[in-house]
Amino acid sequence: MNKAMRGMVGLLLCLGGTPLVSANDSTAALGAGGLVFTKTDAIAMEQEDLFISEDKIRVAYVFRNTTKQDINTRVAFPVPAFPEEPDMDIGLDVKSSNPMGFSVQVDGKKKAFDTEIKKHDGTVNMTHHWMQTFPAGKPLRVVHEYRPATGGEAMLWFQDEERAAKISKYCIEPDFEKWLDKTNQPDKGMVLSPRYVDYILTTGANWKGAIGKFRLTVQKAKAEDKISFCGTGVKKVDARTFVLEKTDFTPEEDLAVMFVHQYKLSE
């Protein structure tokens, strides 16, 4: 169902808005134009445990300051860009100052954060950020959780002009492609409705070295739902849950997950 993560898309060096995309934490500095990501050679990401569903994203990190002195730096987390006036339900209260219910804990304690909001051409770009001390030579556990903004279609559009892009982005294999064609038959009363969740992994390369242990868990809402995403070595844990584990992992491409629901049209 999955293929190898493909070519380098580049290190995210400055704050930008990507629709319906979430991101790894990254160290940051406050510049004149807002938050700017920086790369550190002092703090390693020893572990990243990432959980993704349509309703929740939860990330648990273990960082380690490899130097002999405490490091106090700003950490930034950009949440997905979203429209000020969405023309469909994206599952968020777009008028809220925290539409995704973002929360963060550091070593088991709730952490306060600030939020930078920028609006441009009807789109809202929001980044949560906070000052963080990384103790010398010690692990630091950071956990954050939020509800993702999900893109989607009421009915799967899988025609020629869309097909190649979706096959590439979500690593749709030939058997799954055939199933989509066979099952998505509105004229016969069966409709496929996809939802999309993207996640920026490449900012994980802003930390020192590779991620020591990386674990990705993707969970469907129902056993009969279908999913597709890129990655090698994915294991099925149960009817709804799939896990991918890597060691010494350097993310070279971002993650995109397609969840597909099946509906029977009313007669």
pLDDT bucket at 2, cuts 50 / 70 / 90? very low
pLDDT bucket at 226, cuts 50 / 70 / 90? very high
Instruction: Check if the beta carbon of residue 58 is closer than 8 Å to that of residue 51.
Output: yes
Q: What is the pLDDT of residue 141?
A: 97
Q: Which residue has the tokens 């969970």?
A: 219
pLDDT in tens, 56-105: 999 999 999 999 999 999 998 877 677 887 766 666 777 788 888 999 99
Give the closest residue to 50 by CA, choosing from 42, 38, 61, 59.
59
pLDDT in tens, 179-211: 999 998 888 888 999 999 988 888 888 899 999
Chain mean pLDDT for the chain: 84
Q: Is 231 helix (H, G, I), strand (E, B) or coil?
A: coil
Poorest-pLDDT segment among 38-52, 101-115, 139-153: 139-153
Q: Positive or negative, the Cα torsion across 176, 196, 103, 5?
A: positive
Q: What is the pLDDT of residue 90?
A: 67
Q: What is the pLDDT of residue 112?
A: 96
pLDDT in tens, 11-60: 122 222 233 456 778 877 666 666 667 888 999 999 999 999 999 999 99
Give the closest residue to 134 by CA, choosing from 105, 114, 106.
106
pLDDT above 80: residue 116: yes
Q: Do β-strands 190-200 and 21-23 pair in parallel, antiparallel, or remain unpaired?
A: parallel
Residue 61 bridge partners (DSSP): 48, 142
pLDDT higher at 13 or 161? 161
Give the closest residue to 208 by CA, choosing from 40, 59, 62, 91.
40
pLDDT above 90: residue 6: no
Dihedral class, residue 56 (left if φ above 0, else alpha if ψ from -120 to 50, else beta): beta
Share of the chain above pLDDT 90, in %: 51
Give the global pTM.
0.84
pLDDT average, residue stretch 117-145: 91
